[in-house]
Amino acid sequence: MEKNSSSSFLLFDPSTSLIDFLRNKIPFKTVKLGCGEGGCGACVVLLSKHDPLLDKFDDFTISSCLTLLCSIDGCSITTSEGLGNSRVGFHAVHERIAGFHATQCGFCTLGMSVSMFSALLNADKSLPLPPKGCSNLTAAEAEKAVAGNLCRCTGYRPLVDACKSFSTDVDIEDLGFNSFCKKGDNREDILRKLPCYDHTSFNTFPDFLKNETKNLDSRNCKGVELGAAVTISKAIEVLREKEHGYMLAKIASHMEKIANRFVRNTGTIGGNIMMAQRKHFSSDLTTILLAARATPQDTALAPGEEDTRLLFETYRASPRPLENALPFMNAAFSAEVSLIEAFDGILVSDCRLVFGAYGTKHAHRARKVEDFLTGKVISDEVLIEAIGLLKDEIVPDKGTSNPDYRSSLAVTFLFEFFGSLTQTNSKENGFDQNVESLSPEVMLTSAQQVENQEHSPVGKGIVKAGACLQASGEAVYVDDIPSPENCLYSAFIYSTMSLARIKNISFKENRVPEGVLGIITYRDIPKGGQNVGVKGLFGCDLLFAEEVTHCAGQTIAFLVANSQKHADIAANLVVVDYDTDNLELPILSLEEAVEKSSFFDIPPPLRGKPVGDITKGMAEAEHKILGSKISFGSQYFFYMETQTALAVPDEDKCTVVYSSTQAPEFVHGTVAVCLGVPEHNVRVITRRVGGGFGGKGIKSMPVAAACAVAPSKMQRPVRTYVNRKTDMITTGGRHPMKVTYSVGFKSNGKITALDVEVLVDAGLTLDISLFMPLAIQGALMKYDWGALSYNVKVCKTNTVSGITVRAPGDVQGSYIGEAIIEKVASYLSIDVDEIREVNLHTYESLRLFHNAKASESSEYTLPLIWDKLAEFKQRRMVVEEFNATNKWRKRGISRVPIYGVFMRSTPGRVSVLSDGSIVVEVQGIEIGQGLWTKCGTTSDELLEKIRVIQSDTLSMVQGSITGGSTTSEVSCEAVRICCDGLVERLLPVKTYLVEQTGGPVSWDNLISQAYRQSKNMSVEVNILTGERTIMRTDIIYDCGKSLNPAVDLGQIEGAFVQGLGFFMLEEYVPNELRRSRGNRQYMDLQDPNG
């Protein structure tokens, strides 16, 4: 094979995947493993193959995690690094991603780059070559370029802007905030400043890979014949050809919602059908092909009579409307209809109604409904009777989730298809063929930031350090660090029982799988060490379960093998024998915890406190709502990089741990306790983290500790990259909650009293749940409730502990407040926006609820921000007009306030080297928020002289945890104070040089003289400074003076989209035995995509 212009001829296992080959067999790390299921796009590469019949090259993206190496014989593979890199120069795609601030943690960015380049390449192929520097890509096509590539950080807006910057028809003014253009630039200036895309520069397919291939599809007068080995993407291309008509075009449109582009590029028609047949896969393809009267031989459609018309439509309801989501139900209907003037109606001559993916094993024809409708003139009465038959025929199997919803979808789809036919003569020939489809609307985005020039370059929108390295794939994460000599690999073995004794650990058939070298349990903790996976401020959690496992997902052991592949395979072959005799039943729900009084004790200062007189407030109320309930599920982090660590034993009982963590200090302490060594024997290094959102805080500690324990037994370095399924089961997520409240209010909507009781599912251990009561109340108090009674019980259950997920407690508290406001508005039949406004804090109520946190009245900016929300009243009128004129589709509009943030201390150090270059160290971790860039701009305007280096716990101690949205600010303050100290030391040297030379002094000469005078050029400080289909979203965020508005904007948008996932998409469903919190694989998790 050929990869990035390098040829490889190697012997390999036929089961070897392309990503395994690229990452472990040859020295290329510029693909990343995200989900392992082809669903995230981090592993996307460009595949090029030769078509000998047309003598042309096909270039398309594929998921390297799903592609077997042996399946791409004779193909060329290009990764993002192959497009351009730091050695030969970055590609225009890389530079535009960086310039549009479209990368944060960067773990997904290289896949985005390849997808974007593939769209450019194929757009150029389909049309005459454009002028150099331009592309034939349209704005609508550009928006779909990264569809299927997931990003948990950015919120997608800057990625879409970077894609659209290559299109020919984009309005330049619609492009988002970027580093190439400034206000006032005309179109020509902007196009000249954008990095130039050369469509002639990519031609790397070598002659030795050209070989003969077979034709895959053919056309005939009956329709289209598609071979079983034809890819879904190729089928879409064929079906879209104009001569095939609107019916096949509709099939193609539906097929575009299957999986994602890079899966469709390799997934075949036959493969999809076989999965539906053999594995009962929720296939869209079988449903639409059955409705289209396809057969195993061809997809020929029987021609209709001359006076009839063929109607065809497909339907799909899924958590995400575009890609990467299994459907709740799909359907495809075809009908031959004709206008019967005598009855002034539409006659159904023949029809086929097919439903699939609703909880049955295969796609199902509603034959009773078909027989009933055939020969009938469509009317309201006929349609109602047909719906009644349909309800009896389309019934989900027992155990199917959301059965009532799925059944209602069947009715909805049937009504949508036949409903328009009940109104005759309203359209040409009595009915609408739906031949014309609406052109896709291009997404309009804009971003406005106010740059602060007072302390320039601080406050300017500067490109994030390392952005091009992330886009090209050269940025190094923990799993990219080359393995030390004799390194071993590992995988966790976890419990599948909620409460049981562990009797024995063995393998299936009592055969040790290939590559396995040992299993580490609590018995292998070094002498003097402790079985500790988390050393917290308020106690320790176990690393491995001992005699009894207390929740499903609790780690039992650590399997060590000679490769990560062998470790993961062997871990799945482990058999754990359990015994539940004489054990109580596990507590698996909040209701069971309350029944058994299973609560954690929370110290009084952390419980929250009442505000005002609740009895008096209720007495003043003119209306009351009593005992209303709210419930919250959990949410998984879905950081793109899973938990990972590498432990290397060193001399004198020392250990170096490379950890993907937000809390190096806590990892450091946990490893030291676990190994039974002084903390100075442990060194934890973290360069960058591929997404955190709180999940790389506490839960990174047991991963690093397990990797550190294993070398003490194996006497070799050990590393692990936790697979996505294990990560989802063992790490937990956002806290499930149940809320009961009573609220009193006046007739104008002003709330006088609120009584709230909250049950928090903490899981097995307390961890961060200790702080949940205060976090929930802090966000809840964004409104003036008059008087507030607040009681929280933190419940202990036999489930994986809930931990920090982006704004833990705050997001639930904020939602509780909004739900109460909505309930009051509904009760009074008053617009909810009026209820919000009347309950916003005055400065006086702010001081009552928040005491000293209220600060000065001039700093209370919420009322001003509230009034600035863009065109709110006019847009509300548009929504009301739309709802009044549309019976079946409705829109809504809302504006909500949120909450404040807090700061914690963190150290920093600035060192000036002898050549004048500057090294900046902070203990804050770069997780995509641009911390390195912000600290660099704080240090000096000579940014090219500054390098911010990785975190090292023996170099920079007591760094706390990166989180809470303010680590950059406190890190920059630490750096600023260091710089002030350096200036104080250098000032006498500068004065001396000015006196000697009589003129200005260069930076290099100043530092050279300082070194000759033996000035200490390093300063360290630990400082705490005092002071969070959608048609449209406007966010106004008062963050004071942003350190880097371009980067901070992406953080805000990413948090907003993750919140959309929590409230609208990411249902976290417990398994049938309620043994663990939820989903077991990525495809069950519907996080938002672009």
Q: Which of 207, 2, 181, 173 is nearest to 99 (CA)?
A: 181
The 10s digit of each residue's pLDDT in 463-509 is: 888 999 999 999 999 999 999 999 999 999 999 999 999 999 999 98
Cβ(469)–Cβ(530) below 8 Å:
no
721 phi and psi, to 5 degrees? -130, 100
Encode pLDDT of 177-198 as tens digits: 788 887 777 777 777 788 888 8
- Measured CA to CA, the distance from residue 349 to residue 274 in angstroms comes to 32
- The dihedrals phi and psi of 877, each to the nearest 5 degrees, come to -65, -40
Task: Give tens-digit pLDDT for 641-678.
Answer: 999 999 999 999 999 999 999 999 999 999 999 999 99
Task: Name the least confident of 128-132, 316-320, 766-770, 878-882.
Answer: 128-132
3-state helix, strand, coil in the chain (%, to 5): 35, 20, 45
Longest dimension (CA), the chain: 109
What's the confidence (pLDDT) of residue 1079?
Answer: 46
Task: Read off the pLDDT of residues 131-161 as tens digits, 9 standing for 90 and up.
Answer: 666 788 888 888 889 988 999 998 888 999 9
Give residue 1037's pLDDT: 59
Q: Reply yes or no on whether the pLDDT at 358 is more than 90.
A: yes
707 is in an annotated binding site: no
Using CA of residue 235, residue 238, residue 244, residue 246, what is the dihedral sign? positive
In 3D space, the residue among 992, 994, 1021, 990 whose CA is nearest the CA of residue 1007 turns out to be 990
pLDDT, position 355 = 97
Sign of the torsion formed by the C-alpha atoms of 148, 153, 158 and 163 = negative
| Digit-coded pLDDT (tens) for 797-839 | 999 999 999 889 999 999 999 999 999 999 999 999 899 999 9
Q: Is 674 annotated as a binding residue?
A: no
Return the minimum-mean-pLDDT range out of 296-310, 605-619, 844-858. Answer: 296-310
pLDDT, averaged across the chain? 84
406 assigned ligand-binding residue: no
543-594 pLDDT per residue, tens: 999 999 999 999 999 999 999 999 999 999 999 999 999 999 999 999 999 9
In angstroms, the CA 464 to CA 1047 distance is: 7
- Looking at per-residue pLDDT, the higher value among 80 and 4 belongs to 80
Range with lowest mean pLDDT among 261-265, 314-318, 1008-1012: 1008-1012
**pLDDT given at position 104:** 93
DSSP 1064: I
> pLDDT band at 25, cuts 50/70/90?
confident
Rounded distance between C-alpha atoms, residue 531 and residue 542, angstroms: 6
| Residue 487 in marked binding region | no
Q: Give per-residue pLDDT as tens, 96-111.
A: 999 999 999 999 999 9
Residue 151 annotated in ligand binding: yes
What is the reported pLDDT for 363? Answer: 92
| pLDDT for position 529 | 97
Q: Which of 130-144, 776-790, 866-880 has the lowest mean pLDDT?
A: 866-880
Is the pLDDT score of 275 beyond 50?
yes
| Residue 190, pLDDT score | 77
Average pLDDT of the segment spanning 953-963: 76
| pLDDT single digits (tens) 328-346 | 999 999 999 998 877 678 9
Whether 4 contacts 85, CB under 8 Å = no
Burial of 603 (C-beta count, 10 Å sphere; 0-12/13-18/19+): exposed
Instruction: Count each helix (H run) and each strand (E run) in the chain, helices first.
Output: 32, 32
- The answer to whether residue 213 scores a pLDDT higher than 50 is no
Residue 45: the pLDDT is 97
For 5-22, the pLDDT digits (tens) are 666 666 778 889 999 999
Q: pLDDT per residue over 420-450, tens digit each?
A: 787 543 344 444 444 334 344 566 555 555 5
More confidently predicted of 403 and 171: 403
Q: What pLDDT, on the 0 to 100 scale, is given for residue 668?
A: 96
Domains of the chain: 1-213+444-473+1041-1090 (1.10.150.120), 240-430 (3.30.390.50), 595-636+733-875 (3.30.365.10), 906-1023 (3.30.365.10)
Confirm whether residue 693 is marked as ligand binding: yes
108 is in an annotated binding site: yes
Q: Given a cut of 70, is residue 1048 above it in pLDDT?
A: no
Question: What would the mean pLDDT of 854-864 be, rounded to a whole number?
Answer: 70
Residue 753: alpha-carbon gap to chain centroid:
38
Question: What mean pLDDT is predicted for residues 610-627?
Answer: 97
Question: Region 1084-1088: what's the mean pLDDT?
Answer: 61
- Cα dihedral 111, 113, 115, 119 in deg (nearest 10): 180
Residue from 830, 772, 853, 837 nearest 805 by CA: 772
Comparing 65-74, 562-571, 1076-1085, the range with the smallest average pLDDT is: 1076-1085
pLDDT at position 431 is 42
Tokens 């020039």 identify what position?
453
Quickly tell me which residue has 């303010």 as its tokens: 966
C-alpha closest to that of 790 among 810, 815, 813: 813
The verdict on whether residue 540 carries a ligand-binding annotation is no
User: Residue 805: which of 1053, 965, 662, 636 has the closest Cα?
Assistant: 636
Identify the residue with better confidence: 1048 or 415: 415
Cβ pair 857, 1028 in contact under 8 A: no
C-beta atoms surrounding 96 within 10 Å = 25
Q: What is the mean pLDDT of residues 38-61?
A: 89
Instruction: Give the residue with greater pLDDT, 1041 vs 764.
Output: 764
Phi, psi of 595 (to 5 degrees): -60, -35
Q: In the prediction, which pLDDT does 91 show?
A: 96
The pLDDT > 70 percentage for the chain reads 80
Asked if 690 and 109 touch (Cβ cutoff 8 Å), the reply is: no
Mean pLDDT of 303-316: 72
Band the pLDDT of 390: cuts 50, 70, 90.
Answer: very high
Q: Does residue 214 carry a pLDDT above 70?
A: no
Residue 461's pLDDT band (boundaries 50, 70, 90)? Answer: confident
In the block, which residue shows the tokens 């003490």? 712
pLDDT (mean) for 987-1014? 75
pLDDT at residue number 856: 73
Is the model's pLDDT at 49 over the cut of 50? yes
Confidence at residue 62, expressed as pLDDT on a 0 to 100 scale: 97
Q: With 90 as the cut, is the pLDDT of residue 265 above it?
A: yes
Q: What ranges make up the beta strands (E) of 687-750?
A: 718-721, 737-745
Task: Give buried/exposed letters for 127-152 (b at 16+ CB in 10 A, else e).
Answer: eeeeeeebbbbbbbbbbbbbbbbbbb
CB count in 10 Å sphere of residue 976: 20
What secondary structure does DSSP assign to 118-140, as a single string?
Answer: HHHHHHHHHSSPPPTB-----HH
What DSSP string describes 1066-1081? ------TT--SSS--S
Band the pLDDT of 1087: cuts 50, 70, 90: low
Q: In what order do the strands lie in the sheet with 345-356?
A: 309-317, 329-340, 345-356, 364-365
Q: Is 105 annotated as a binding residue?
A: yes
Q: What is the pLDDT, as a whole number, of residue 797?
A: 98
Structure tokens at 309: 């018309």
Mind spelling out the 3-state secondary structure of 774-820? HHHHHHHCCECCCCEEEEEEEEECCCCCCCCCCCCCHHHHHHHHHHH
